[in-house]
Structures are given as structure tokens and as C-alpha cells.
Amino acid sequence: WAWKEWRIKNIKRDVDQLFSILPFEVPFFEQKHHYPIHYVGNPTAEEVRQFRESYSESGDEFRRRHNLSSRPIIALLAGSRRQEIKDNLPAMIDAASRFVDHQMVLACAPGIPMDYYRKFVDGRDVELVTDDTYALLSHARAAVVTSGTATLETALFNVPQVVCYETPLPRLIAFLRRHILKVKYISLVNLIADREVVSELVADTFSAENIASELSRLLPEGEYRSRMLAGYGEVMGKIGEDSPSECTAHIIYKLVKKI
């Protein structure tokens, strides 16, 4: 639905039943291409819901466990691939470091060696947390997030965020987004809401200055922060609370019984 829309022809030819975990795919397939699909709920939403129901650690306990200060937390989620981290993390740190009354805490991806992160954080006031992203988001005041599933996770934890993604040839990419890409947004939050709930700083709008400007609007209490949190409520409503695995199993069972 983003780049190669013509692949719908192959899907219609080869796929008897399609199960989607993204609610905005239903109108794309059913209304635009007249191909019925099943929306079964979102597994990320289910994972976050289960975590939040079982997680009881206080903010002070979380800080003590990771040797953090008492300052409010700006969470940095820089992606899970080395190139993403290399491209995005320096500007994210530059922007967040301007808020000296807050502390930066970087969520490290489990597949990336700590030595790789050290190249970007050494000499900077950044704390590192490994394999504990959900706990970090549970106690963050705001977050700077590269595009991907992490944008949805951050929204599901009700953490105001700036979405950013650095690209090569930013002016060219910006042109392609406007004239070739079939979707208006890159973050799952905005795609699900079908409007701009979170600010997306991509290609020619990606810069430390723009990230910092967005954080300055999100960190204090106010209308801008409240409006984003209200938008998260819309996203949660569209996702629903069904268990994707159970819902899919029930539908498959009914379909098989008809054969």
C-alpha cells in the first residue's frame, strides 16, 4: 500500500484469505481494490496491554534499578538497525540535550552491541537501557522516536513523541514523498488515525533544531501535549482490544468448517 500498489493483483490471484493487523488496510483493500480482508486486531497493542496490566514498578524503583537521576525522562528510541542509529541518534541527542532539567535515556536494541552505541553517547549525558523499552516508556515524560513500530508502542504508553527519520538526499526524498509515495504519513500513529497526531520530521524537515522545537512544545503541560494524548485515544479506539491470534484462529476455524 506504500510503494508497490500494483502487487494487489498478485494478492488477488494467490491469496484466498488475508488477515490484517493494521486497521487502515481495510479501506485500502476493500474500498479501493474491492478485495475483502479480515482486520483481527494488533499484536503490538496486545503486548503493550499485557505488559501494562502486569507491570507495577514505580518511577523511583525504575530509576534506582538503572542508576538514573530524579529528573524527568526523555526517552530516545533510535531504531533497531545500525544505519538507522547512525543516521538518527546524533541529532536526537543534540536536540534532547538542550533540556538540561530532563535526562536522556536511550533504549538500546537487543541485537546491537553496546560498543556501537558508545561511539555516539560517549562524552554525552545519556543513560543506556537494554531490553527494557516498555518499562522506560512507562516512566518517560516524552520521547524522540524513529519511524516504525516504536511510534505505535510509544503512543500506546501515552507518551508524547516526536517522530523523526533522517534520509540521504533529503530534498529528493521529500519530492518523492509528495509525488510518488501512496501514503501521507510514515508513522503508524498517523496512518491509523488518518491525520497528523504526531509531528513527523523526515527528509528535508529532519534537524536537531526542529526536534528540539517540537520537544519544547511537548514537555510542559498544555494544549499541544493534551491534543496529542487525545489523538492517541483515537488510535487506541481504532485498533480495538481483540486478541489477534485468537481472532484469526476463530475466523480460520469457521472458514475451514465450510470447506
**Which domains, from first to last, does the chain contain?**
5-41+242-258 (no CATH), 71-239 (3.40.50.2000)
pTM of the model: 0.90
Residue whose cell numbers read 475483502: 36
Share of the chain above pLDDT 90, in %: 81
For residue 200, list its beta bridge partners: 163
Confidence of residue 20 (pLDDT cuts 50, 70, 90): very high
pLDDT at 172 over 50: no
pLDDT at 24 over 80: yes
Nine-digit cell at 116?
556501537
Higher pLDDT, 4 or 222: 222
Percent helix / strand / coil, the chain, rounded to 5: 55, 15, 35
Confidence of residue 3 (pLDDT cuts 50, 70, 90): low
**Mean pLDDT of the residues in the chain:** 91
